[in-house]
């Protein structure tokens, strides 16, 4: 049994320093878990931490999927000699779409999310009923490897509803969670006072200055041990920004100081992985000093890679930071062998990642039109959520009344990017929060807007936002009513590859039956369209795909959605994991949404993160 006091943790009566690394089961392929987890142990970590994304497991009300993945991940961690920390939310942040909250739910409850609102709590209860049994059975006090379970996540940065936190705590206990529960918040007084729960372990998240952070925690919780639940040794990236890196020596020094202060630690991230398909989240730029105006600050969608400048890079290869962290942890273990012990006594091994395929080009030789769904006619443009669409594309069509002169055309509440056609001619590209040249059209024309959703905001007051056109389309001051909406279901969260699929390569909505899409040697007259090429490999390996001449769009390999690419950078290649490929012929499908016509996809031997 795990217990704790101000001096630290004890497991079955012996002192234990929790040396954890964050690795999310949903950001790596299951076939890759053994190598990644073994590398964590070889670095000197004795625990792995993972979030649980609610929206991945309940893509529609009551439709629970992929529930076997978390238990399977925990079992693999145990096989690798690692204890585990589980953070089931319901909110997780994590630079994950909508902070893990289901879009269908937040569209319904709005700002009542993450409160004691009965409708929201009823949905949380159903989610807990579905996901917790696999955790409860694997708790350390039942012979398993789960040491700790989190209540919510950084709630002090969001709200102050103590009844909500109490409901979550009681719900976890009622469903059989008997290991210690904990909260995690920033090391600031107002965050800790609102985000902690009486009687539960409090932890803090930070990237530097551990002595000051632990002092704040000690002031609030003198009876709790120092624990950094998220040691930010790197950082995430947004489209259009430089790739974030941190000097390995600086990060290693901070880790050494955490341990010297008596702290337990969770390295966030130890291995970041990938935001496959459309799972990447978004942020708003930090508002000016002494302001909390996140609403009007710039929108910042996260990139597909979640490399995070972590000790293990996106494909699981050790970095210079890994070697320095390994040395720090080895020094600690030499001085404190009992505290730094593992779940078992095996000698750790450091297996390498999959081999890399040689660089080559794949020609795009056949093409197919977009698979638009059934049209919905509405007085105003329906949101993606009203169309039952988690992510993808929607073509909105309006007829401008006439006769009238040329007048300004305005799209209110665009989320997040659109291409505009007038009478079939492409005339403009619009993007959320980005200034563009004035757009004007006369009466009597047909206006089409193909709207693409990017990540939902995962942190701050805009969590729970809807997608599509949430305001309206105006011709001068007059709203255009009478809208036809046609969805394209390209990459629903729940239709990422399921473990139940024997090949591990279940298709995506709209792309599951590629043969039925009518691929032909000549491109369709209507753009955008899907382009397909084939890749033959003797033995699968890892690779990185680039789209020379492409501007922005999405890529699939054998029906598996790798994610978005974007000319803004910093990411200019998409990681394709070995398990997605197969010996023989492989199918690559590209959707270019910009005004470009890529002719090839390149396989490269290294990532390009700018």
> Could you list the active site residues?
154, 230
Give CA–CA dist 127/182, Å, rounded. 19
d(CA 516, CA 368): 10
Count the neighbouring beta carbons within 10 Å of the beta carbon of residue 160.
Answer: 13
- Cα first-last separation, the chain: 47
d(CA 511, CA 514): 5
71 vs 25: CA distance, rounded Å: 10
The residue behind tokens 């529930």 is 67
Q: Is the bond into 570 cis (omega within 30 degrees of 0)?
A: yes
Tokens of residue 195, six digits: 């985000």
Query: Whole-angstrom Cα distance, residue 2 to residue 15?
Result: 10
Q: By the 8 A CB rule, do 169 and 197 touch? A: yes
Burial class (CB in 10 A: 0-12, 13-18, 19+), 524: middle
E strand map for 510-559: 529-537, 543-546, 552-557
What is the CB neighbour count within 10 angstroms for residue 164? 19
Contacts of 478 (CB under 8 A, 6+ apart): none
CA 42 to each of CA 156, 270, 312, 598: distance values in angstroms, whole numbers, following the listed order: 35, 12, 11, 42
Distance CA 400, CA 577 (A): 47
Does residue 513 have a cis peptide bond before it, meaning omega lies within 30 degrees of 0? no
Which residue's structure tokens are 């690779």?
Answer: 543
Q: Which residues contact 418 (CB under 8 A, 6 or more apart)?
A: 411, 429, 430, 431, 449, 450, 451, 452
Q: Give the Cα-Cα-Cα angle 306, 308, 313 (nearest 5 degrees).
A: 85
Angle between the 69-79 and 33-43 helix axes, to the nearest 10 degrees? 40
Residue written as token pair 């669409």 = 389
Measured CA to CA, the distance from residue 452 to residue 456 in angstroms comes to: 12
Burial of 383 per CB tally in 10 Å (0-12, 13-18, 19+): buried
Rounded CA separation 447/420 (Å)? 7
Query: Encoding tokens for residue 496?
Result: 């990422």
**Integer Cα distance of 589 and 592 in angstroms:** 10
- Gap between the Cα atoms of 462 and 294, Å rounded: 8
């Amino acid at each position: 049994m795990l217990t704790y006091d101000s001096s630290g943790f004890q497991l079955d009566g012996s002192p234990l320093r929790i040396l954890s690394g964050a690795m999310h089961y949903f950001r790596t392929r299951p076939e890759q878990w053994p190598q990644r987890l073994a590398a964590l142990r070889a670095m000197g970590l004795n625990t792995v931490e993972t979030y649980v994304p609610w929206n991945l497991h309940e893509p529609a009300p009551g439709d629970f999927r992929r529930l076997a993945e978390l238990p399977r991940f925990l079992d693999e961690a145990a096989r690798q000699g690692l204890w585990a920390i589980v953070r089931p939310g319901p909110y997780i942040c994590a630079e994950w779409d909508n902070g893990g909250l289901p879009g269908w739910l937040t569209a319904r409850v709005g700002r009542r999310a993450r409160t004691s609102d009965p409708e929201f709590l009823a949905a949380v209860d159903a989610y807990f009923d579905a996901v917790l049994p696999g955790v409860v059975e694997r708790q350390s006090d039942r012979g398993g490897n789960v040491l700790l379970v989190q209540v919510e996540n950084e709630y002090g940065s969001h709200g102050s509803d103590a009844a909500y936190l109490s409901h979550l705590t009681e719900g976890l206990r009622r469903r059989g969670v008997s290991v210690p529960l904990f909260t995690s918040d920033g090391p600031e007084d107002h965050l800790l006072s609102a985000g902690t729960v009486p009687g539960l372990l409090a932890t803090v998240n930070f990237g530097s200055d551990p002595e000051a952070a632990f002092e704040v925690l000690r002031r609030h919780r003198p009876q709790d041990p120092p624990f950094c639940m998220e040691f930010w040794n790197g950082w995430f990236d947004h489209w259009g920004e430089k790739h974030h890196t941190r000097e390995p020596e600086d990060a290693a020094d901070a880790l050494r100081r955490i341990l010297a202060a008596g702290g337990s630690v969770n390295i966030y991230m130890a291995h970041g992985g990938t935001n496959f398909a459309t799972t990447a989240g978004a942020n708003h730029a930090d508002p000016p000093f002494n302001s909390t105006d996140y609403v009007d600050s710039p929108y910042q969608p996260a990139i597909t890679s979640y490399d995070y400048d972590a000790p293990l890079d996106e494909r699981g290869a050790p970095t210079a930071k890994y070697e320095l962290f390994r040395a720090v942890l080895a020094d600690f273990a030499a001085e404190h062998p009992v505290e730094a012990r593992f779940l078992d006594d095996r000698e750790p091994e450091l297996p390498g990642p999959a081999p890399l395929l040689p660089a080559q080009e794949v020609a795009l030789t056949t093409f197919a039109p977009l698979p638009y769904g059934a049209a919905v006619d509405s007085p105003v443009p329906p949101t993606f959520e009203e169309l039952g669409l988690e992510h993808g594309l929607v073509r909105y069509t309006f007829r401008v009344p006439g006769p009238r002169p040329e007048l300004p055309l305005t799209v209110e509440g665009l989320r997040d990017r659109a291409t505009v056609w007038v009478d079939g001619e492409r005339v403009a590209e619009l993007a959320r929060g980005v200034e563009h040249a004035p757009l004007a059209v006369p009466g009597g024309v047909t206006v089409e807007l193909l709207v693409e959703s990017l990540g939902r905001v995962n942190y701050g007051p805009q969590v729970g936002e809807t997608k599509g056109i949430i305001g309206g389309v105006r011709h001068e001051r007059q709203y255009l009513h009478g809208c036809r909406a046609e969805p394209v279901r390209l990459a629903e969260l729940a239709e990422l590859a399921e473990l139940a699929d024997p090949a591990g390569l279940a298709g995506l909505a709209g792309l599951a039956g590629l043969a039925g899409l009518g691929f032909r040697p000549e491109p369709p007259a209507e753009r955008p369209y899907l382009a397909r090429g084939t890749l033959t490999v003797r033995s699968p390996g890892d690779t990185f795909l680039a789209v020379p001449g492409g501007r922005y769009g999405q890529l699939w390999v054998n029906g598996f959605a790798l994610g978005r690419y974007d000319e803004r950078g910093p990411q200019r290649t998409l990681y394709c994991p070995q398990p997605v490929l197969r010996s023989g012929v492989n199918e690559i499908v590209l959707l270019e949404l910009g005004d470009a016509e890529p002719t090839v996809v390149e396989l490269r031997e290294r990532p390009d993160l700018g």
